[in-house]
């Protein structure tokens, strides 16, 4: 990756205060719990942050934050669910017509590719490789 997801998460979270309004204090509590705990406590805080994001569909910085922390979850606990969640969050973020910083969009696109790769969606299987080998290349 061309950037540090943890640093990007901090930046995105700090930019999301105005997006969350009265829920900012709750988000801060959840983020503090998530950042300082592992295991079930950290996972519950992570789920709480994702639930908060569902309540604010236009909170782009907060959604970017959730994508970055989902990548952290996927690297700490390499399970399919985290990769699927990451893909879903990225697709929603990238489909939004709102104007966002180009740098952030590029980072989300890169993470989207990483989530896809983690699920094996960008890999060719043996049949595809053989088909490509057997397909005639241009010329006469």
Q: Structure tokens of 102? A: 């180009």
Least Cα distance to 68 among 10, 127, 128, 23 occurs for: 10
pLDDT score, position 128 = 47
Number of domains composing the chain: 1
Angstrom distance (rounded) from CA 109 to CA 10:
18
- The whole domain housing 32 covers 5-134
CB 5 within 8 A of CB 72: yes
Angstrom distance (rounded) from CA 111 to CA 107:
6
Q: Assess if residue 52 is contained within a domain.
A: yes
Instruction: Taking each helix axis as running N to C, give the angle between helix 102-118 and helix 5-15, from 0 to 180 degrees, rounded to the nearest 10.
Output: 130
The least confident of 20-29, 53-62, 128-137 is 128-137
Q: Assess if residue 140 is contained within a domain.
A: no
The residue with greater pLDDT, 125 or 38, is 38
């Amino acid at each position: 990756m061309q950037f540090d997801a943890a640093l990007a998460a901090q930046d995105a979270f700090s930019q999301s205060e105005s997006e969350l309004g009265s829920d900012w204090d709750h988000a801060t509590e959840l983020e503090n719990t998530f950042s300082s705990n592992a295991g079930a406590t950290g996972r519950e805080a992570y789920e709480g942050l994702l639930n908060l994001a569902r309540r604010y569909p236009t909170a782009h910085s907060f959604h970017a934050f959730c994508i970055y922390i989902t990548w952290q979850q996927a690297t700490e606990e390499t399970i399919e669910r985290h990769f699927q969640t990451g893909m879903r969050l990225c697709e929603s973020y990238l489909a939004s017509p709102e104007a966002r910083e180009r740098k952030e969009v590029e980072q989300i696109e890169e993470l989207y590719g990483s989530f896809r790769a983690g699920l094996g969606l960008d890999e060719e299987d043996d049949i595809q490789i053989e088909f490509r080998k057997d397909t005639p290349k241009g010329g006469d």
